[in-house]
Structure 1
Amino acid sequence: MELKDRLKQARKHRKMSQARLSEATGLDQTTISNLETGKVLSTSKLVQIAHTLQVDAHWLATGKGEMIREFQIEERRLPYGDMNHEMELHDTEIVEGREPLTADEVELPCFYEVEFAAGDGRTQVVENHGHTMRFPLSKLAKRGVSPDQAACATATGNSMEPTIADGSPIAIDKGTRHIIDGKIYALDHGGMLRIKRLYKLPLGRVRLVSDNADEYPEETYSLMGPDSPKIIGRVFWWEVFD
């Protein structure tokens, strides 16, 4: 079942028209219609839609889990004796562990380097489906990242300092592999997991730029060459250490 099918199922279960859902979420009704027909594949208001329809945001985004689950809603009374209540939506931070996922969490696989079985020192970058990190669906939705196209990794070395510190976890959008000048990308470069800013050049070449330019000079490669880096995806989030 795709997002379009889950959205339509949830809306009908809630007995809510597209017009009413549009009014409740602030989305244009045409966008909702396009989501339900598959013309639009994602929206930054996916979590808000899930809360409006009273379904699990993780299920709506990925199809995993149950459509309906209990929601813990924190209510606070408004001042001056107003009896109305407001729903407070709290942001969720990345956590690791085996506690059940909340309605606003998804588990993302992690990239890492492994050595080839031959033992000759060569490595390859793989996606480890055994180790995962939890990430808020709301953060993915705000950036237009589909959960099934997101993954995590750990930056190593100081080439991107002070922006990304050694050991900082990062989040990668595998759905964005085209180069946007100046954005940070995760690369599989000859079996090494590298994090660099990319800039397009004529004739199918690309510049790899480190923020720590004093220690790591700029590199230039042909995207079609034998030693060219393979773009895993754009880095859209990283943790900042002080």
Structure 2
Amino acid sequence: MVQNDELRQAFAQRLKAALKNVGQDSWGAGAYLRDVAHVSDKAASKWLNGEAMPGRANMMTIADHLGVRIEWLQYGEGSPSGKEVKDSNVVTADFAGRSRLKDGEISIPQYNIRGAMGHGQVPADYIETIRHLTLHESHLIGRGISFSKVDNLAVITGWGQSMEGTINDGDPVIIDRGVDTFVGDGVYVFTWDNLLYIKRLQKHSPTQFDMISDNEKHKDQVVRIDELKIHARVLLVWNAKKL
């Protein structure tokens, strides 16, 4: 039992070190693990506290997202990136070539829509294009973008043609998960009628929203406020244009 406790505590130490290396401090680590591995907050907390360890599938998923070797994360074997180091248990080694965040930089993880929204709510052809972004905070602030807090920022992938011209199919989109209510006209991630949408919302009446598609070929709709669940507000579209 003592050996198992030591194994779990050592794993928790490596996990925290890897999370810190990608910009996830103690405040955001649990939410990050929850979204990445599709588990409950309680399960993520147990991993971080050394009370339990993930199963093999979750261990592989976490290692992949953190850019470390699963053998190192699970057992402390070798180095995080596979490069030889003098002490295989050192947790401050190079993590798959990822440098530590510099002053002013922020790390924005992928938001796992499938895990958060559930099956049947995500388009069948939905494909995540970017898993992780590291950028300088001034890139957002300089564009007049405000957000609830860094830990609530995440990246998702736009899909479909309804917002074409603003958000094209496959465009990475930065969202603020800390905004889960209507805070004024804007583009939101929400579910309505058991389906997931990225649309522009405007107040139509005290009980209704205008659900607006920026692509004129798609019709706008009026929906009841109490039938719609807001998950996040869209802050920035990372458009890529072929030259």
- Higher helix proportion: 2
The structure with more radius of gyration? 1
TM-score by length of 1: 0.48
